[in-house]
Every structure is written in C-alpha cells, then in structure tokens.
Amino acid sequence: MAGGSKAVSLETAGLLLGFVGVVIFGITLPMTRLAVEVLDPLFVTTGRAALAGLVACVVLLASRKSFPVYRDRVSLMLAAICLCAGFPGFTGYAMQHVDASHGGVVLGIIPLATAVAGSLIGDQRPSRGFWITAVLGAALVVGFSLQASGGAVSPGDLLLLGSVLSAAIGYSLAADVSTRLSGWEVISWIVVLALPITLPVALWSSPADPLAISPLHWGAFLYLGLFSQYFGFFFWNAGLALGGVAKVSQVQLLQTFVTLAFAALINAESVGLTTWLVALAVVGLVLLGRRMRVEKAVLSEAMQKKN
C-alpha cells in the first residue's frame, strides 16, 4: 500500500508540475503580443533568447556540466536556429498582425507537426491513421485561418506557419540529444550556443530609451526570456520525470485553451465561440493523433519534453 500511495503521490506531483509548465507556455503568445506593442520584434526575439542564455550559463557553470560532444553540438546548434530565432521570431512578428487567440489555435497543431518532422528526421514511423489525422488537423487550421482573414492568406498566418515549422523541426532535432542529456540541460545548451548571435543582435536592436518603455511591457519581455524560453522547461521536464511521459504529456492538450483564456485576460481580446470550437477540434485531433502514432520510437520526444 505504501508503495502504491507513493506512486500516486509522485504522479500527482508530476501532473501539477506539468500543468504549471503548460500554463507558462500557454501565456507565451499573449505576452509576446503585449511586448511587441512597443518593443521591436527583433529585440524581443533575440533579447528573450539572450536573457535565457545568460541565466543558463550560470546554471551550467554551477552544475559543472561538460561541453556536449560534437554530434550533439551540431543538433543543438540547429535546434537553436529553430527555437531561439525561428519560433520566437515568427511569433513575434505574427503578433503584430493577428490576435494571440488566433495564434493559439494555429499553434495547437505543433504536436502533430512535430510528429511529422520526427518521422522525417529520425527513424519514427507513424501509422496511416496518424497521417490522416495530421492532414485533417492542417486542413482545419488552414480553413480557420482563411475564414478569419476573409478567404485570403494573411501575413500573420504565413508567419504562424513559420512558427509551427520551426518548433516542429527544433523539437525533433532536440529529441535525439534528449536521449543522452536531461531535458533541462538540452534547453540550457541550446540558448547558450545561440548567445554569440542573440546577445549582440539584442544589444543592437534594444530600445534607444529603455526608460520610455513601461514596466508592463518590460515585464512581458522578462516573462518571455525567463519563463517561456527557459524555466518553463524545468517545470515541464520535472513533471514528465515524476508522473511519466504518457500521462503528464496529456496535460499539454490544455495549452491552447490557456492561451485563449489569457489572450482575453491580458490582451482584452474577444474570443468568439467559433474560435473555442475550432480549438476544441484541433485538440481532439491532436489527442487522436497521439493515440495512433508510433510503431518504432516515441514520437515527438522533444515536444513531450519541451526540449
């Protein structure tokens, strides 16, 4: 009985930590939209990654971690391009064109896109049912985007597509390294290896008069750098380790709804019934795809571990 109670306790703790991670990531788009109201998206993109990289330097030095081997460095640097430049950059500019709630629905297909990228990059073999689910998910999101923009493809949706592709490729690249390094170490090395680019560009694109930026917008920027880009992964990975990937990863299905709720709260967006229904349908397809997917390796390991 004692052993069973301990297992339940660890699972509960894992679910709670995983939920904290999901909430942190779910608030990313609303915070990004808030930050780019007054800050240059280029600065928000590189600045958040640079801030995370500087903190990660301290963490890695304190933990005395050795430099990754060459094979891992290549994967980590490629992942850094996707996760420190591609994803935050595309979302930053996208948030100047579309609402955070709209972005939250589109980005809801990232788990499916990550599984597709994993099958192309790695040795994972999704079933035919998964591919059907992925196509349906993509069609649903495209239809939603076209409906929202009056039948035309908007710049914001093209940028969100870049975000989805960047995240999918980045998470898949990090998946291989995650089999040899812990999740928190992987994200730490990703943001550290990006520092030679992100830090100089962040300094170059920083606001001319920082004091003219309100504390609210600086707070949004700090949130993106400290939590969305870095510490959120710590909660998520700890939750997966304690509660198990199979159960805790299901909490991720709530992320789209967290984004919609905080878009209304932080950005004062009016989230209509259609948006909620499409979000529910996207999440349903993601859940269905997860149940159909893999024959060989665990798909979307990077998405499950959030790096």
118 vs 68 pLDDT, higher one: 68
Dist. CA 210–CA 123, nearest whole Å: 48
Check residue 306 and give its pLDDT: 46
What percent of the chain stands above pLDDT 90? Answer: 48
Number of Cβ within 10 Å of residue 96's Cβ equals 14
164 pLDDT tier (thresholds 50, 70, 90): very high
The confidence band for 8, taking pLDDT boundaries of 50, 70 and 90, is: low
pLDDT of residue 307: 37
Check whether 223 has a pLDDT greater than 90: yes
- What pLDDT, on the 0 to 100 scale, is given for residue 199? 97
Look at residue 99 in the predicted model and tell me its pLDDT: 93
- Contact status, residue 52 vs residue 282, Cβ threshold 8 Å: no
Structural domain spans, the chain: 2-305
Per-residue pLDDT tens over the stretch 10-66: 778 888 888 898 899 999 999 999 999 999 999 999 999 999 999 999 999 999 998
Mean pLDDT (the chain) is 85
Average pLDDT for 166-187: 85
Identify which of 124, 66, 113 has the alpha carbon closest to the alpha carbon of residue 86: 113
**Mean pLDDT: which of 63-72, 119-128, 176-185 is highest?**
63-72
The pLDDT value given to residue 303 = 43
206 pLDDT tier (thresholds 50, 70, 90) = very high
Segment among 6-15, 62-71, 154-163, 205-214 with least mean pLDDT? 6-15
Residue 304's pLDDT band, with cuts at 50, 70 and 90, is very low
**Cβ 303 vs Cβ 114: under 8 Å:** yes
Higher-pLDDT residue of 252, 24? 24
Question: Averaged over 278-301, what is the pLDDT?
Answer: 67
| pLDDT digit string, tens, across residues 88-130 | 999 999 999 999 999 999 888 888 787 778 777 766 666 777 7
